[in-house]
Amino acid sequence: MALRKKAKQDDIVAEGLYIASAATRLALKNRILVDILTGAEGFEASRFVPDARETLLSLAAEAEADADRAEKERKTAKGRHTDSDGTHDYRSRDVRNLRKRRNQSLHIAQALRERAEDPEELVKLVDDARDAAWSEVAKNIDRSLRIEAARPDLEPDYDRMRLARMQALRMVDLPKLRAHRRAASHAAAERAGADPDSDPDGRAAAGG
């Protein structure tokens, strides 16, 4: 019975870590895409390792905060035997589950902090995020090409068209994405009361 309970807790912790890793990859993927849009030269995994570490530590802090909430709720619920008024209105019968939730959150937080200090784990997260970012860009390019040419996959020189796809990325997709980013920055500047004609770094835009 004890082994079964431990296995169940291990499964819950593993699921929490899987979700946290997925969230980290998503955050890194978006960071890499933004880096592409700003015209950064080349890809260096080491440039994104601090982002990976920061994201993992942030998620660990969230898990610790959840553990603190569970502990406060457990103390409040202890000794209360009346009917509950809602989902989060805990009673004495909920004390055991709240203790389990606290322990699971602490295990997740500890594992995330360990991963945040593991260079190999950080590089792996960045590499996975890079693959996801490239896959998203490649799908956008492929979708654009399929619109402009009904069946490019049937072309006999399909492999030789890779250069054309890269040209499409440089000349079509990235300019569109940069334009979208400029529009978003423009709107944000207007909301903040800043000069709407300045770039995101606060410099005045060139004439025209």
Question: In this predicted structure, what is the pLDDT of residue 28?
Answer: 92
Question: In this predicted structure, what is the pLDDT of residue 45?
Answer: 83
pTM of the model: 0.62
- Could you give the percent of the chain with pLDDT greater than 90? 30
Lowest mean pLDDT among 109-113, 114-118, 175-179, 189-193: 175-179
pLDDT band for 83, please (50, 70, 90 cuts): low
Q: Assign residue 42 a region: left if phi > 0, alpha if psi is -120 to 50, beta otherwise?
A: left
Question: In this predicted structure, what is the pLDDT of residue 44?
Answer: 82
Tokens of 127: 């590499």
Would the pLDDT of 165 be above 80?
Answer: no
The segment with the largest mean pLDDT, out of 27-41, 85-99, 140-154, 163-177, is 27-41
Tokens of 208: 């025209």
Distance CA 73, CA 95 (A): 8
pLDDT band for 207, please (50, 70, 90 cuts): very low
